Amino acid sequence: MVEYMTISGVLVVLLILMTFAVNAIFMEGPSDRLAYHSFVDIGNGISTRIVDVYVLAPDNGSIATAFDIPDDVAGQGYQVSLDVGRLDSNQQVVVSRGDVMSRISIAGIGATMGVAGNTTGTGINKISYNSAGF
């Protein structure tokens, strides 16, 4: 009887430890990897839209475009912000949630035009340009 109780106790402890490990290894890891790759795609799309607005921007006047990005990634929301590089004029689109973050450079306009703002995935998002400034 003592052997049965000892073996059962050890197995219960191992089962509890496995429950915590399974969540971290088999659920959070792949979810974070999926979120990172989705954030890269979202950041590339926003960077492309910013460059498109810059190419079409008039010398005098304004232009605006509305676009939609996914409301959530892997069942959770996320934040999109524009970050100015510290050492150079490299501006980046930063898509993040918790510990998962993706940084995508805004190609071609970093040295010529400042970009600022932030958004989330919910709703319709807007990129606007005004030659007089905001």
Hey, CA dihedral for 121, 36, 47, 98, is it positive or negative? positive
**pLDDT 10s digits, 59-87:** 888 999 999 999 999 888 999 998 766 55
- Split into its structural domains, the chain has a count of 1
State the chain's mean pLDDT as an integer.
86
Query: Torsion-angle region of residue 3: left (phi > 0), alpha (psi -120 to 50) or beta?
Result: alpha
When pLDDT is cut at 50, 70 and 90, the band that residue 24 belongs to is confident
Look at residue 78 in the predicted model and tell me its pLDDT.
Answer: 94
When pLDDT is cut at 50, 70 and 90, the band that residue 9 belongs to is very high
Residue 21, pLDDT above cutoff 70? yes
pTM for the whole structure: 0.77
Look at residue 108 in the predicted model and tell me its pLDDT.
Answer: 62
Quote the domain boundaries for residue 102: 1-130
